Structure 1
Amino acid sequence: MKKGPSKGLLAVTAVLSAPQDQGAAGDIDPKQRLQQRRESSDAEQPLVDESVRVIPLQVAGCAAEWIVAPGADESTRLLMIHGGGFIMCGLNSHRNTSVMMSKYANCAVLAIDYRLAPETPFPGALDDCAAAWDYLLDNGPQGASEASSAYVMGDSAGGNLAASLLLRLRQEGARMAKGAILMSAALDLTCSSDSWITNNVSDVMLGNPALQPGGPLTGADRDWINLYMGDGDPAQSLASPLMDDLGGLPPLLIMVGENERLRDDSVRFHEKAIAAGVISRLERWPHVYHAWTSVNVEVPEADLALRRMGEFIRRESYKQVAAKRFSEFVDLSDAMAENARRWPHHLAVIEGEHQLSWAQFDEQLNRMANALIAEGIRPNDKVAALARNSLEYMVVMFGTLRAGACIVPLSGMASSEALAAMMDNSDAKVLFLEAGYRELIDPVREQLTGVGDNGFVGFDFEGDGWQSYADFIAGHSSDHPGIEIDPSHGFNIIYSSGTTGVPKGILHARSMRSREFPAGASTGYSPWARTLVSTPLYSNTTMASLLPTMGNAGCAVLMPKFDTQRFLELAEEHAITHAMLVPVQYQRLFDFEKFADYDLSSFLMKYSTSAPLREDLKRRVITEWPGGLIEFYGMTEGGVGCILLAHMFPHKLHTVGFAIPGNQLTIVGEDGNAMPVGEAGEIYGRSRNMMDGYFKAQAKTEESYWYDEAGHRWQRSGDMGRLDADGFLELLDRKKDMIISGGFNVFAADLEDVLVRHEEVNDVAVIAVPSSDWGETPLAIVEPTPGCQPDPVELQEWANTRLGKGQRISEVVLIEELPRSTIGKVLKRELREPFWQGEKKIS
């Protein structure tokens, strides 16, 4: 798309900038002058995209046309009310707005022409708009058919008609639009909030009617105002009284001026819209873009405004699709097969220079599934993989599910002995391996007796008893294997973190996972979403964003390994909409000196989990990074689940949110009784989304459960916390990490929150160490801010002056970098071990 003004805009600009002879102007009838200005705006406007269909028709006695971009969903419809404002008018001048909306919103646009003017007073125009709305609900470009999703939008003065139409629909109890309004903040008229009811033309001006703040009106502008308003006073407030009645309507987007002469008025107008609840806070648009005339859609700011409107409509429409698709149990693999049929040309996976469309990805999943079946894999069998994130790993993971089997993703952080134990515990019959991890598997390969002779597959190598990935999948059919999915069968076994011993295998059933991805549509996961995957595929953290992406036909952009600069480059290059990050990744991104140089405006939502995200970091994310922020607190085992909509509850950033709908939380004290509000105890939870148990470890499974008096099963979290009066959970510590000093419970999180506020502290972990006086005492291990070398004694004194007497830190130790798991959790066990050799920790 070329940049710069269109021919129509240049023609209008020429008329506006031409010198006016006040004497001559007085000899011209105002209506005649208005007509001349209209004619100047009717210069032929070439389509920005000639592939669209333009179907002329008459609706409600007005000129109209259907605008349909190639491949658009014609059951999703948008009524586009083109106003005239002062000078821009006519379908020809406005057509490109409809063209771009059809493309960006993936819908059919019914454009109706309203040159709001003295000869078309507002109440009569609104009657005709209501008739056009009824027509749109029952008719599409191909004839009579019911709309599945319907929206109304108006540009320039048509935005006022669109807003009033929504008010009228609500008053009459008619089918309501989902909402979407584009309004101008300059040179437009808006009705008062009751003129659509009273049929009185009591309109007032919206925005600054002068071309310069406080400047005089041109003679033509004043004539136009007087024509329309009669003897009304053109002096106006900065925000229409219409705003007062818009609260409670479907989410609306009011796009207003973004240039120097309108900025002050626009900001105040925007603030009033937010105060009225007109703009959905969930959308979190980072800027307000100027798009006051549809003629200049080729100007970048106007085009971006339309793109955002289109994204909003696509997401809202897809929510309706998702609600129907997932109203009953749908296995993820079946949902993905349907994605390939519905959106075959949309991208499904991107890794570096390689990418697969949904049709191509689906074919690869079928080949992998058929290859596994040929190898003897049957429903509910187990298939393991040990590798970094890659396109091939995605094919293995979801191809295994397509075969009806259960995927066992393994961690490269585990020891050889632990990996061998996981393979034995899981009964995995096939192992896919990346060459970089051979040093972990080769020493224990002879112990992997459950894997068949042809079950050792190298992603990027072959030989020595390993066949290549390419050979394993080659020659197998791309047809769907037709395996019937049992909801009770395993989806995955995820092993709990740990580098020694045998971590517990957490088994998730297909039925549990099927309840996780449908809800993703509510936060923007859709066929137009792009999720940047920067955490490993073996982590449940990754699944929380990957599964909604794949279930809702989005695209996963893979990073084999997290790198700060590369993350930002990919986010900008691929217009990323979603990302799941762990706290240490957020910290590294904000520490990167060129963070602000990257365009992150495409983001709709970021997520954080695996460890608490510090309050100061949350505040930076919601103020310095476009899009919303959701923090999840939960367990791989399920049952315990909280959600913090950080962008909606900035006063609750010290918490991890409230219980996810469908989850129940309770705080239980040492005596086994529920604790009152504000009192600390262990966090227990229950929900439909709970693990089936630790695989082949019934005793450990039962240890993790607690049963209430009614016999209901609750999951024990092992975490300490307290609920506030609003039901928000403040996370305190792992129960095993709690410090018992002098018989009193000291929560490391309280101490860490104080220390991390020091400018020379980048991160900190407080642990319990033995004390002859107190039994245990807090010790702080500090990771300094890059470039700083704080004095440990001074830092200890600084913190202790801000802590209670029973919380005081006994010593501060500096460390270059805190030890972390691959998903960013600080490994406190490793930090404690040197201090507790030969000692028994009280807790």
Structure 2
Amino acid sequence: MYLTQSLQRSLQQAPDHTATIFNERRRTFREFADRVARLAGALQRVGMASGDRVGMLALNSDRYLEYFMGVWWGGGVLNPVNVRWSVAEIVYSLDDCDTGILIVDDQFLPQVEAIGAKAARTPIFIHAGELPTPPGMLSFEQLIADGPAVADAGRGGEDLACIMYTGGTTGFPKGVMQSHRNLWAAGMQRMTEMPPIRGGSNLHIAPFFHIAGLGRAVVQFLAGETHAVIAAFDPLLVLRTIERERVNETLLVPTMIQMLLAHPDFARYDLSSLARMAYGAAPSAGDMIEEVRAKLPWVELSHSYGLTEACPIVSTNPPENHSAEAVASGLSKSVGRSCVGVSVKIVDEEGVQVARGVVGEIVVQGANIMQGYWNKPEETAKALRDGWLHTGDGGYLDEQGYLFVVDRIKDMIVSGGENVYSAEVENVILRHPAVAMCAVIGVPHAQWGEAVHAVVVPKPGCEVSEEQVRAHCREFIAGYKCPKSVSLREALPLSGAGKILKRELRDPYWAQEKA
């Protein structure tokens, strides 16, 4: 169970098959493996020893995939840096796990000076881009050209493969330690649920610094498939790339799928090669499933639930649960059943398993579960208890073992002593024909402690009022769950992975409360 074995296999069995596509650049597995082995040697020459951390601050590219494999081939550990972070957050992650080398693309060159000045240990900076390499930095391309290639270090099993920092929504970011075994197991679990398309190609859209992007890359390497890459999500670029490269599958979040389907040029592109579309990060949004079935009826939809600490896979809702019948029955709102090799149960505050249909905390066990948090033994002990990962997500299991996620436990709203799960309210609001996106949060209330507040984004060309949203909710859910207030916006704040940043929506309300 070492991750570079997948590249060794592709090199042996299909050396001339296309490995990576980025813009106009295409490389075979033979070319890719040679560059990986040369990059590994270069990293060793500039100081990377076995187990040392190497960071990358960059948008998606073929070089990012070379970074993944090159660091592993040379015996190092990845530290993919969140591109949405401030310099202070970046420096914290570098200092926290003593990252000695940082690869930076053109987009983030302006941050290099500040990072170098503030880091406890100034990293060796390597420039990976199309612009001339700035003074004081090493050139990614020159390091590869100088060679020589080195043998695969062969690290695997319980050896550390990656430290992936969480978004830091509470306190400082936590470095999730993922072993070769963890990532390998997660990739195999995903492939068991959705067997690879022989000779297929995948379009990487999720950012590689996020576990969704890294996890998908691992799956494609294991399957020996072609990696088509775009730097960041852009609906028109996605459409063009699928048509030009005859892409077979991709992973998106619901907000991205909605933007793709709503693009005015959507119908102009030939998307007939697309066979599968996986989505994650949130339950299906509104009528997204119906829209996909209407506009891309041949495409198989699947939904996965996971988290960074699970590398990321926990459960999968397969294509058959996205039919009209499944939508009508509510099964499409499930996140599926636990994957092969993953155990899931629901527990109460005391850690005792609850009955089917009862909401509690989702806890998970399997070979894909992280080793712990880097240098945070207390946080690790809270998350990993008696062999189970406590996810912090609220949910329940039905009689057939389908998992329904109702909310982050910390996002649960307690109004007048009643628990309100924001996901339940959001699902109702998204059924309104004029609503494109929404987020439900708790805001301070003098009498009830918290009140339910909805932030709504109308569909283009549509109008919806606060009272219309509230009246719509009263048709489907209890009065105490209905929003007491509604605000309308043109857009919601999103993370690099497409998740709605509820903290940014909540903070202004609670800051006023504390003032």
Distance 1:400 1:484 in 2: 11
Distance 2:487 2:33 in 1: 53
Structure 1 pair 482–815 and aligned structure 2 pair: CA distance change class (3 A): closer
Alignment of 1:532-551 (within 5 A): 532-551=203-222
C-alpha displacement of 1:499: 7.4
Specify which of 460, 463, 473 is matched with residue 134 of structure 2. Answer: 463
Specify which of 234, 238, 242 is matched with residue 567 of structure 1. Answer: 238
Query: What is the SS of the residue equivalent to 2:54?
Result: strand
Look up the match of 2:151: 481
Distance 1:473 1:821 in 2: 33
Structure 1 pair 798–760 and aligned structure 2 pair: CA distance change class (3 A): same
CA contact (8 A) 2:72 2:161 kept: yes
RMSD, aligned α-carbons: 2.0
Specify which of 256, 262, 285 is matched with residue 585 of structure 1. Answer: 256
Look up the match of 1:642: 315
Structure 1 pair 729–619 and aligned structure 2 pair: CA distance change class (3 A): farther
Specify which of 686, 699, 714 is matched with residue 365 of structure 2. Answer: 686
C-alpha displacement of 1:524: 4.3
The gaps in structure 2 that reach 5 residues or longer are none
Query: What is the SS of the residue equivalent to 2:333?
Result: coil
Specify which of 97, 101, 108 is matched with residue 437 of structure 1. Answer: 108
Distance 2:420 2:175 in 1: 31
Q: Which runs of 4+ in 1 moved over 4 A?
A: 519-522
C-alpha displacement of 1:378: 1.6
Instruction: Please state if 1:632 is matched with 2:290.
Output: no
Look up the match of 2:490: 816
Distance 1:446 1:544 in 2: 33
Query: What is the SS of the residue equivalent to 2:82?
Result: coil
Look up the match of 2:411: 737
C-alpha displacement of 1:529: 1.2
TM score, norm. by length of structure 1: 0.58
Specify which of 500, 508, 512 is matched with residue 826 of structure 1. Answer: 500
- Cα distance per residue 1:582-641 (max 9 Å; x no partner): 111111111123323432222332211122223622343345422322211011101871
CA contact (8 A) 1:603 1:627 kept: yes
Look up the match of 1:350: 21
Distance 2:417 2:188 in 1: 47
Structure 1 pair 615–647 and aligned structure 2 pair: CA distance change class (3 A): farther
Letter in 2 for 1:758: H
Distance 1:802 1:395 in 2: 50
Structure 1 pair 482–803 and aligned structure 2 pair: CA distance change class (3 A): closer
Worse-matched range after superposition: 720-729 or 672-681 = 672-681
Instruction: Please state if 1:405 is matched with 2:79.
Output: no
Structure 1 pair 531–450 and aligned structure 2 pair: CA distance change class (3 A): same
Look up the match of 1:514: 184
Letter in 2 for 1:510: H
Query: What is the SS of the residue equivalent to 1:471?
Result: helix
Letter in 2 for 1:495: Y
Structure 1 pair 764–482 and aligned structure 2 pair: CA distance change class (3 A): closer
Letter in 2 for 1:668: V
Instruction: Please state if 1:770 is matched with 2:439.
Output: no
Letter in 2 for 1:681: G
Alignment of 1:100-111 (within 5 A): none
Distance 2:351 2:309 in 1: 21
Letter in 1 for 2:219: P
Specify which of 384, 389, 398 is matched with residue 705 of structure 1. Answer: 384
Specify which of 345, 349, 369 is matched with residue 666 of structure 1. Answer: 345
Structure 1 pair 483–795 and aligned structure 2 pair: CA distance change class (3 A): closer
Instruction: Please state if 1:612 is matched with 2:291.
Output: no
C-alpha displacement of 1:726: 1.1
TM score, norm. by length of structure 2: 0.93
Instruction: Please state if 1:359 is matched with 2:359.
Output: no
- Cα distance per residue 1:628-669 (max 9 Å; x no partner): 222110111018711100334632101111111221111112
Structure 1 pair 671–491 and aligned structure 2 pair: CA distance change class (3 A): closer
C-alpha displacement of 1:557: 0.5
C-alpha displacement of 1:521: 5.0
Distance 1:484 1:791 in 2: 60
Look up the match of 2:161: 491
Distance 1:838 1:605 in 2: 46
Distance 2:112 2:488 in 1: 36
CA contact (8 A) 1:760 1:790 kept: yes
C-alpha displacement of 1:549: 0.9
Distance 2:384 2:512 in 1: 31
CA contact (8 A) 1:346 1:357 kept: yes
CA contact (8 A) 2:283 2:333 kept: no
C-alpha displacement of 1:749: 1.2
Which structure ranks higher in relative contact order (CA pairs < 8 Å, sequence separation ≥ 6)?
A: 2
Letter in 1 for 2:470: Q
CA contact (8 A) 1:641 1:660 kept: yes
Question: Sequence identity, in percent?
Answer: 28
Structure 1 pair 691–582 and aligned structure 2 pair: CA distance change class (3 A): same
Alignment of 1:53-64 (within 5 A): none
Distance 1:566 1:649 in 2: 26
C-alpha displacement of 1:350: 0.4
Instruction: Please state if 1:416 is matched with 2:90.
Output: no
Alignment of 1:71-86 (within 5 A): none
Query: What is the SS of the residue equivalent to 2:68?
Result: helix
Letter in 2 for 1:545: R
C-alpha displacement of 1:721: 1.0
Query: What is the SS of the residue equivalent to 2:251?
Result: strand
Instruction: Please state if 1:749 is matched with 2:428.
Output: no
Distance 2:428 2:444 in 1: 22
- Cα distance per residue 1:198-220 (max 9 Å; x no partner): xxxxxxxxxxxxxxxxxxxxxxx
Letter in 2 for 1:338: R
CA contact (8 A) 1:414 1:500 kept: no
Query: What is the SS of the residue equivalent to 1:686?
Result: strand
Structure richer in strand, relative to its length:
2
Query: What is the SS of the residue equivalent to 1:689?
Result: coil
The gaps in structure 1 that reach 5 residues or longer are 1-328, 708-712
C-alpha displacement of 1:435: 2.8
Distance 1:648 1:442 in 2: 51
Larger Rg: 1
Distance 1:786 1:827 in 2: 22
